[in-house]
Each structure stands twice: as structure tokens, then as C-alpha cells.
Amino acid sequence: MTSIDQGPATASAQDAAHVDTPIAPAQGMPVSERVLRVLIPLVMLGALIGLWAWYVAAYNIPKYILPSPELVVQSLIKDWPILGMALLVTLKITFAALGIALVGGVALAILLTSSKWIELALSPYMVILQVTPVIAIAPLILIYAPSTQSALLICAWIVAFFPVLSNTTQGLKSTDHNLLNLFELYGASRWQTMIHLKLPAALPYFLAGLRIAGGLALIAAVVAEFAAGSAGAGSGLAFRLLESQYRLNIPRLFAALILLCGTGVVIYGVTSLISHLALRRWHESAIRREN
């Protein structure tokens, strides 16, 4: 290669080397800034809990209205056998629903984009399923479903499945036409075009759907359980919340709430991480902009 191309070539080589290192937000920052990034949220959290504790103590708030932070923690530890079991039930429903939503959403998206007739026939029902509040159809599902657990699963699935479906459908339709021509030119089969072109092209859309679906699955699992009102050993966190309210066991209610929050945050974090890892090498959304 002559000198003309050396300019961009070497620049890109450096660029490539730079991209080889993982693009974590903390990368390449001075140590002090990295420490601050961890420290500031922690200090903020500590301050809020401190304020809470001070308010409860200073104004003598009764524990059935607002329990102190240490009471909540005590309750979390003391009631762990009950709450832990309930958390497990909620997690099972959430992840089962999310799993089925992912498989079903992607499969249906492939089906819908493969034929416009199928799309015309099915898509109105997909929309109806989505716009009807799940809490409104939960009573019906409870009657039809063989068990409460399966009814909860169906409710959570209905809610989680739509973002996966609509995002993946959009992604599958957004394939670059030139690349489609290219695949046709090289005699690719429908199957090869799907595996090597359409699915990778739809991946960023699918991952955005996954992030939404993850949060929605948890919300729907809780909402459905509120509607179902199941009791006994098989009940999840939502039932424990209601139960604590009836019994005015507000510290336990807070403890259950914290577990739900934590679960939601973890699901969001994990799905975001998956998205980041899958896209970090090539997709604009995962690449830090440098000017």
C-alpha cells in the first residue's frame, strides 16, 4: 500500500486497538473520578436512610405508619424464611414468564414477518392483548387456568411478551435492503438469510425489547398476584405485601417492598449488561462517542 492510505489505516489501527479494550464506563478515567462514581450514590443512599431514621425518631412516628430503617432490616432478617420463600415464588413466575415471552415473542415475530397474510390475520389480536389491562383479564384467566400458579404465569407472560414481539418484528423488518440483495445474489436460502442476516440485524431491537420485558414481567407477576390473592405456602411477594398490610405488620411490608425493588434493579442491570456485551463491538448505542 502506498503512503496515501497510511493515514487512515494507522488511525483506524489505533482505533481498533482502543476498541479492543472493554468499553466500561470506568475505563480510562482517573482513579479519583472512579472512586467518586461509586462513592456519590452510596453517600446519597446513606443520607436518605439517615434522614428517614432521624425523622422516625424525632417525630415519634409509630411503627405501623412508618417503621425505622433498623426495624425494617430486623424484619427482613427475622421474616426471611417467609419472605425468602415468597421471593423465590415471584422470581420463578417472573423468569418463567420472561423465558416463554422471549421464545414466543421471537418465534411469533419470525412468523409475522415471513408472510404479510399471517401478519394481517394475527397482529390485531396482538394489539388487543397488549392494550387490555392485565388486571382486567386476570379474573377470567384465574377461572380458566388449571392452577393459580399457571394463571399468574399467563398474566405475566401476556405483559412481557408484547415488547419482545413488537421490537423483534420491527428489527426483522429493518434489514438493510442492499444486504438482502447481496444475500439473494449469492444464492442464500431463506434459512441462511434468517440466521446470518435478519436475526443479527434485529438483535439491537430485540435487546431493547428484552430490557422492557424484564421489568414488565416482574410488575405483571406482582399485579397478577394481587388480582389472584392466592394464599398459603405457594404465595409470592405480592401476597405477603397484602397480608402484611392487613395485619398492620408495616416493617415486613417494607422488607417485602425492598426485596421487590432489589429484584427489579437486578433484572434491569442484568438485561442491560447482556445488551452491552452483545452490542459493544459494533452497535452505535453501545459505543462511547468521542469527538
Partner 1 sequence: MRLDHVSKTFSNGTIALKDMSLTIGTGEFISLLGPSGCGKSTALRMLAGLGEPSSGKIIWPDPADKSANDKSEGEIGFVFQEPTLMPWATVFKNVWLPLRLKGISKEAARPRVMEALEMVGLDKFVDSYPRELSGGMKMRVSIARALVTRPRILLMDEPFAALDEITRQKLNDDLLRLWEQFGWTIVFVTHSVFESVYLSSRIVVMAARPGRVIDEIEVDAPHPRGIGFRTSQAYGEYCRRTSESLLSAIGTADHL
Residues that bind partner 1 (CB under 8 A): 1-2, 4-5, 8-9, 11-13, 15-16, 19, 176, 178-179, 181-188, 192, 196-197, 200-201, 203, 281-284, 287
| 141 or 197: CB nearest partner 1 | 197
First to last CA, the chain: 28
| Least spacing, CB of residue 25 vs partner 1, in Å | 19
Question: Do 218 and 227 contact (CB within 8 A), yes or no?
Answer: no
CB count, 10 Å around CB of 173?
Answer: 15
Question: Closer CB to partner 1, residue 137 or residue 179?
Answer: 179
Q: With contact defined as beta carbons under 8 Å apart, do 160 and 97 qualify?
A: yes
Q: How far is the CB of 13 from partner 1 (least distance, A)?
A: 7
130: Cα within 13 Å, side-chain hemisphere: 17
| Shortest spacing between CB 208 and partner 1, in angstroms | 15
Q: Which amino acid is at 119?
A: E
Question: Looking at beta carbons only, is 13 or 48 nearer to partner 1?
Answer: 13
From the CB of 201, what's the least distance to partner 1, in Å? Answer: 8
Yes or no: say if 139 and 227 are a contact pair by the CB < 8 Å rule.
yes
Query: Residue 185: helix, strand or coil by DSSP?
Result: helix
Task: Give min distance, CB of 105 to partner 1, in A.
Answer: 20
Task: Select 1 or 65, whichever has its Cβ closest to partner 1.
Answer: 1
- Is the distance from CB of 254 to CB of 53 less than 8 angstroms? no
- Which CB sits closer to partner 1, 70 or 184? 184
CB of 22 to partner 1, least distance (A): 14
Output 20 or 33, the one with its CB closest to partner 1: 20
Nearer to partner 1, 110 or 279 (CB): 279
HSE (CB half, 13 Å, CA atoms) of 8?
4
Helices 250-279, 80-114: inter-axial angle, 10-degree rounding = 40
Q: How far is the CB of 79 from partner 1 (least distance, A)?
A: 47
Q: What element of type H or E holds 200?
A: helix 199-228
Q: 176: burial class by Cβ within 10 Å (0-12, 13-18, 19+)? A: exposed
